[in-house]
Amino acid sequence: MLATELIAEVLRSSVPIPAGDTPLAELEGWDSLKGVRLVLRLEEIVGRELSEDDIERLQSVGDVERLLKAG
């Protein structure tokens, strides 16, 4: 799954999500609850609990993409 698809799913949005280093906080509809939903969904996808460091590094769309690729 691509980061942009995952973030759109979390936001429940059909609006295209910009790729790259777009900050998550700047996405329309983003709030702390969406951040929690993103972490839970990422944990399902990668099959492990994310560390505090992993979670702190999730600041942009690109950060989500890197985590997905790293597994």
Q: Please give the tally of structural domains in the chain.
A: 1
Assign residue 33 the CATH number of its domain: 1.10.1200.10
Helices in the chain by DSSP H: which ranges?
Answer: 3-11, 32-46, 52-56, 61-70
Q: Does 1 score more than 90 pLDDT?
A: no
> What pLDDT digit, counting tens, does each position of 3-32 carry?
999 999 999 999 899 999 999 999 999 999
pLDDT of residue 9: 96
> Distance of alpha carbon 23 from its chain centroid, rounded?
10
Mean local confidence (pLDDT), 30-49 = 97
Give the separation between CA 62 and CA 64, rounded to whole angstroms: 5
CA distance linking residue 51 with residue 9, whole number of Å:
22
Q: Are 67 and 54 in contact (CB under 8 A)?
A: yes
Does position 71 have pLDDT exceeding 90, yes or no? no
Q: What is the pTM of this model?
A: 0.93
Range of 43's domain? 3-70
